[in-house]
Amino acid sequence: MRARYFAHVDMDAFYASVEVLDRPELSGLPVAVGGKPGERGVIAAASYAARTFGVHSAMPTAQALRLCPELILLPGRMARYQELSEQIMQILRDQCPAVEPLSLDEASLDLSGCARLHGVDEAVDGGHKGWTRFAQALQHRIHTETGLWASVGLGETRRIAKIASDHRKPAGVVVVVRGEGRDFLADLPIEKLRGVGPKMAERLRRQGFRRARDIASTPRTQLQQLFGKAGSALLDMVEARDLGGVHPDRREKSVGRETTFARDLVGMAALEPVLSRLSENVARRLRKRSLQGRVIQLKIRDRGFHTFTRRHSMTTPTDSAPRIRDEALRLLRAMQWEQVPVRLIGVTVSGLTESRAVQGELFATDEERRQPGIDRIVDAIHDRFGSNAFLRGRSLLATGVDRTPWGATLSPSGPGSGRLDSSERISQ
Ligand SMILES: [Mg+2]
């Protein structure tokens, strides 16, 4: 059977790089695009110079300024990013018909069946050299035509391709052909594993764990002794998902909900209550089916019908509405869409497992541990009195606010009020 191949193209520090491209005098300086510190702003992108200070995207701007007082903070210029994004996507479409844009600066390419077209001979070294040439040429063309650098990863699954694209950033090219995937993943430094933050990484390193394979080769009981439930969850992760994937191309089941507004909504204050309600709905349906999901996906469509998705994989699965909402909000904030009119928004949870198989929460706060009890009560009230009987405070905001600070009107009764009247979508 011929191998399937995917490429993942991810622009390096995209927003920040565009700013430096348009203002070359900023080259080499710590530059970040983000919201103002006083307004709960977060960093959307940081130049590599800024990253040496520890500044990274999704970090609160106030914290970024503490780490790097000389940080050059710029507001986003979404129209300009969109313009370059379209140019980049066009280059990708020239190379391969199956391009799936994942956000302004990231896309997945399905290269299956394209080997001969690109002069790749898979009979020689599994196509490693040929695909590397292809990826380098693609990167080169993007740089020549836009002045921006992309990192390109290529692999047998979308997931391997994505990890590969992240492996040698910036301006990296990493190709993992058939038969190389397992070793590549086993070789990943523990910091690259999903959900392993700096603290957990330090604990792991102190115990001599450097790479994913070090975890994979350690007995479960020992990992549990060292790290408690987190140790067991890490083993599950490196064995079942990150190290090979038994069914790499199996379509995952997902539970999602989206809503289209009659009038575009602008700003976090308008969107947050809607995300809250969508999350409540998705969480409730997960719990009804005794499912929990690890991957939270946010979908957003702008006025021009451009649709973008952002996803985040968590270490442990959830069916908790607040957790789904918080992840969705984080994804939304990182997109920096404060000023962009939004036509549609949706939340989907995938990477599903049955609730009883779920490992304990790795880094749960007390509030999160209490949550299952609260969720059960909410479910019981919904079952008894219908789905409008009870909404959490944040969800109620949507009907309590008539006018957002940006002037978008939310009518409580009319269409587009954030009511969940869109079709329910459960995909297989
Ligand atoms: Mg990027």
Which residues have C-beta within 8 Å of that of residue 263, sequence separation ≥ 6? 408, 409, 416
Sign, CA torsion 405/408/414/417: negative
CB neighbour list of residue 173: distance below 8 Å, 6 or more residues apart: 132, 135, 136, 139, 151, 152, 153
Q: Residues near 214 by Cβ (< 8 Å), separated by ≥ 6?
A: 190, 208
Residue 225 CA, ligand 1 centroid: distance in Å:
38
Q: Could you give the CA distance from residue 55 to residue 31 in angstroms, rounded to a whole number?
A: 10
Break the chain into its structural domains and give their ranges. Answer: 1-170, 184-242, 254-427
Listed range (7-11, 241-245, 371-375, 403-407) with the worst mean pLDDT? 403-407
CB 382 within 8 A of CB 267: no
Give the range among 153-167, 333-347, 394-408 with minimum mean pLDDT: 394-408
Q: Tens digit of pLDDT for each residue in 34-68?
A: 988 887 788 999 999 999 999 998 889 999 999 99
Question: Quick one: CATH architecture of 1-170?
Answer: 2-Layer Sandwich (3.30)
Which two tokens mark 230? 């987190």
Q: Ligand 1 centre and the CA of 310: distance in Å?
A: 12
Provide the token pair at 407: 């002037």
CA of 87 relative to ligand 1 center, distance in Å: 15
CA of 378 to the centre of ligand 1 (A): 39
Give the CA radius of gyration of the chain.
Answer: 22
b/e code 340-378 from CB counts within 10 Å (16+ = b): bbbbbbbbbbbbbbeeeebbebbebeeeeeebeeebeeb
Averaged pLDDT for residues 197-202: 89
The residue type found at 72 is I
**The pLDDT of residue 305 is above 80:** no
Token pair of 396 as six digits: 């109620």
| pLDDT(132) > 70 | yes
Q: Which residue has the tokens 């009870």?
A: 390
- Give the pLDDT mean for 315-324: 87
Residue 106 Cα, ligand 1 centroid: separation in angstroms?
6
Indicate if 86 belongs to the active site. no
402 Cα to the center of ligand 1, angstroms: 36
Read off the pLDDT of each residue in 396-414 and give the average, rounded to a whole number.
Answer: 37
Q: Tens digit of pLDDT for each residue in 230-280? A: 888 888 777 755 443 333 333 447 889 888 887 888 888 889 889 998 999
pLDDT of residue 279: 92
Residue with structure tokens 């399937």? 4
Instruction: Indicate the CATH number for domain 254-427.
Output: 3.30.1490.100
Note the pLDDT tens digit of each residue in 67-110: 999 999 999 898 999 999 999 999 999 998 899 888 889 999 99
- How much of the chain, in percent, has pLDDT values that exceed 70? 79
> What order of strands is seen across the sheet that includes strand 31-34?
43-46, 31-34, 72-74
Q: Where is mean pLDDT largest: 13-22, 105-114, 222-231, 307-316?
A: 13-22
> Greatest CA separation found in the chain?
65
CATH number of 184-242: 1.10.150.20
CA of 13 to the centre of ligand 1 (A): 5
Q: Determine which one of 39, 70, 86, 106 is catalytic.
A: 106
Answer whether 1-170 and 184-242 agree in fold: no
If one counts every other C-beta atom within 10 angstroms of the C-beta of residue 409, the result is 14
